[in-house]
A and B are shown apart, each in its own frame.
Chain A
């Protein structure tokens, strides 16, 4: 984007119309003021997108059970269940009403926090989620923090060391190692870690959630892949930023190298890395499903797998909603962080 469009975006349409021209006559002052504020417009745009995505998610979760070919209840209960039991279950799930009625009820219940009742345990789904969510969230947050704390300094240092073709060997080692680590899926890494640190060395527990030591292996296996990818991306971004004209300007100011790298280069590299970091975070949220199953972690991931296997649709629906909402919120958080770090992105049309 060039400066002109930026100015136009800031001051409204056309270079001639400053604040307080024709628009203000047509609209109440507050509204036009908000319209002219890039942050308000950014918020409005982003919230609209979020609302739309949430609606798609909710509708998909509702549609899921109706997309299942044949009678899902019959499939769940098996061929030997009596017609009466099947009917009872259909009634309980509300499947006998018309689709619009069911959809309306689903939305209304959702708004009231009612996600239905688990078919297998008879517990309210919201309670199941309430019990399981904290341990999954703890796992995901800890892993993300570890990944960021490791990858940003690592990528930065590697970029500085390898800038302009220096240390070519080091670059090769770093790139191939990170590719290898990133390719290994988290659950396989988890198995490997269990074997080395749990079985062979006996340093950490191999299953269950307990004290801090029980977090070590799950967090490590979840964080390693994203950390490798992120470190690589930070290095690439940082390397391209270090070639930028404004870094030459910073060097011409004869600032100490540390200030050039940390204050001038890093924020610019991080803005670009953050977009991908956000994607990683949401895939990390999903990765908990597999890792929880390796470590018998009492979280949402093991719950959803068991529910899918036992065809406990209300629970599956609820957990899908929670995971999906989590992913959407992560994306919003990334966009907001981007807008704060890079002021141009707030006014950039998406």
Chain B
């Protein structure tokens, strides 16, 4: 049973313990669980019920023997083994004693023995648990090994073992259950102490010459006491159940004493004639056990979640729902007729999530199009809604997120009229729209072979057989320049290097017949050298197969070097759209200019702090009135703080949402400063070949080369003949 409870704890760890641990990270000696947090326990209905129940059980344990001992022990030979009646609610036992009163009186012994066993178990566990921290390496390892072996055995088995050693009876059972609980608590203490020992303040104490014992008592134990107390409460419930088990077996409390387990054992024989004698003690055990368990769980939840509610701190200055959908009319940009048929056309895209104070709109009316074979980049700071935009157009936003749009058309088919997971959408999107995700480590399924993860797409959507699909997968892996593709296909994701995984991710995107690849930060998790290979690969695919690309990145360099057109997003809106070759010369939105200025450059003076955009990006739940960037904008006027600028065309192919677009190069100096002249050079470079825009990045890449984490991609650099 002890193990069962352990298992339960382990399973709930994410829900309760995780919270405790997070709370424990706050710092060194924190306030003890004071009145506030205990009141928090009572605030939830479950915690309230459990605490009341526990209080009742404890009161009964204290007062029942004082009040009803006489009635419980009164022998009445005229009333032997009676069923329940008005006089004896639960009937009588084989000496005519009233079972109801015996049940009430037995509360004390049952609870007391359980608490005693728990105290013994926690104390022993604590000693064993902190021993590794005190004994040094050798002794500590031995204690840990013993605990590890002991913890593998179920508590009941340990209890039976100790019952043999300590003999049958209440004392033996307390010792048996106490020692049986100890390994679990030792393991818990060890884990908690070990995690704390890595903390900075404990290191600091050690460096300061504080002795082991003092570090333990002063810095470690106060911080692990909360989880221990919570687990001891739950453990007491387990001990109660275990004790009733032992007594039921006849190994615990011996006659003439009695606890619930013993009453149950005595009542079981007569279950045919008067079941109440067996069922009532059982119910008592369950209720008392639940009272301990649930109180412990409630305390765990209350302690884990700080009472200061973050939800109240985040009141939006303006209700997001009040943002009229028509505030930004997404310009379909008919004047600048795209030279090719658009693959993707989006208008009025909004994505919202339920927040503590009503829905929070993270994408607020975004409209754009991607032409055939065109590469469109989306840049912005984190939280600007760029990744959500990508997920929304690919119909991958999950509940509770809600996507709403005036129009999402992919290859001329409206994705809005079809159900998101309907067969039509699945087929169309599965073959023609491919995604490349940010982190190639977590984006592959760790339990499936790479080849299988690729091939299932072809099997699903192209109707290929398994071997056909697999050979297509190998062929695609080869196409993205993965050496020994066949061997790699048979490997699991963790056996590949980061760069190789990202290329495999791109190979996955090529498994269908993609017309559009949506790449969400495809290079962010990679070092500079690998980043360049991946971008070049994407470029080659686009050029070779005429696949359109929607590239999401926070890195304006990456977007500028890869894309034909750039969409700059801020606070869930597109604030500027322009061809990327004009990005450095004619960008007009102050935010775009700030982004460009923030990129470190070869000529950036090293003794100066890097340029940053002042202020913080707005969060979707507190979008201000007027222009969202106004608070951080050096050119903002009063109008910017009240009126929301629309995305207006300033010249063909160039749209800006700003009341005071910066057309003057000198004005831009406010951000761009001394780099002004260099940008022109950069732009030229971009125009000549979209290889690598930032002059500064090139040497950086070479510098990073030898120290690159993974040697693999260097070896594999087959692109450079």
Contacts and interface: CB of A to CB of B under 8 A. Distances in A.
Nearest to B423: A256
Interface in B3-34: 3-4, 6-8, 10-12, 14-15
A188 B250 contact: no
11 contacts: A53-B149, A68-B165, A68-B167, A183-B293, A192-B279, A236-B14, A249-B437, A252-B435, A253-B460, A255-B430, A259-B460
Contacts of B251: 305, 308-309
B22 to A, nearest CB: 16
Contacts of B394: 252
A236 B12 contact: yes
Contacts of B275: 195, 199
B508 to A, nearest CB: 8
B494 interface: yes
Contacts of A248: 396, 437, 443
A282 B152 contact: yes
| Main SS class of interface, A | helix
Given A3-B496, A185-B241, A308-B168, A283 B156 contact: yes
A189 to B, nearest CB: 9
Interface stretch (B325-333, B445-453, B477-485): B445-453
Interface in B235-286: 237, 241, 244-245, 248-251, 264, 268, 271-272, 275, 278-279, 282, 285-286
A344 B496 CA distance: 12
Given A191-B282, A229-B4, A164 B396 contact: no
Contacts of B264: 188, 191
Interface stretch (A4-12, A82-90, A97-105, A110-118): A4-12
B445 A250 contact: yes
A306 B279 CA distance: 24
Contact of A327 (B1, B154, B286, B445): B154
Most chain A beta carbons < 10 A, residue from B1, B46, B394? B1
Given A164-B399, A195-B275, A229-B7, A254 B430 contact: yes
Nearest to B1: A185
Nearest to A305: B249
| Main SS class of interface, B | helix
Contacts of A251: 396, 398
Query: Interface size for chain A: under 10, 10 to 19, 20 to 34, or 35 or more residues?
Result: 35 or more
A183 B291 CA distance: 10
Interface stretch (A21-29, A39-47, A212-220, A263-271): A263-271
A112 B248 CA distance: 36
Nearest to A268: B447
A344 B492 contact: yes
A53 to B, nearest CB: 5
B356 interface: no
B249 A289 contact: yes
Given A259-B460, A268-B445, A276-B11, 19 more contacts: A3-B495, A10-B495, A164-B398, A183-B286, A191-B268, A249-B445, A249-B453, A251-B398, A252-B396, A254-B426, A254-B461, A255-B460, A279-B7, A282-B152, A290-B156, A293-B248, A304-B160, A327-B152, A344-B446
Interface string A272-291: 00001001101101110110
Contacts of A184: 286
A192 B278 CA distance: 9
Contacts of A254: 425-427, 429-430, 460-461
A132 interface: no
Interface string A220-249: 000001100100110010001000111011
Contacts of B286: 183-185, 188
A192 B495 contact: no
B7 A283 contact: yes
B551 to A, nearest CB: 16
Contacts of A316: 164
Contacts of B439: 245
Most chain B beta carbons < 10 A, residue from A166, A253, A267, A308? A253
B445 A264 contact: yes
The 8 A-B residue pairs whose C-beta atoms are closest, nearest first, are A254-B430, A286-B154, A233-B11, A252-B435, A245-B442, A286-B156, A283-B154, A283-B3
A163 B290 CA distance: 28
B155 to A, nearest CB: 7
A165 interface: yes
Contact of B444 (A10, A166, A188, A249): A249
Nearest to A225: B4
A234 to B, nearest CB: 9
Contacts of B421: 257
Contacts of A53: 149, 152
A166 B400 CA distance: 8
A6 B495 contact: yes
A14 to B, nearest CB: 11
A238 to B, nearest CB: 12
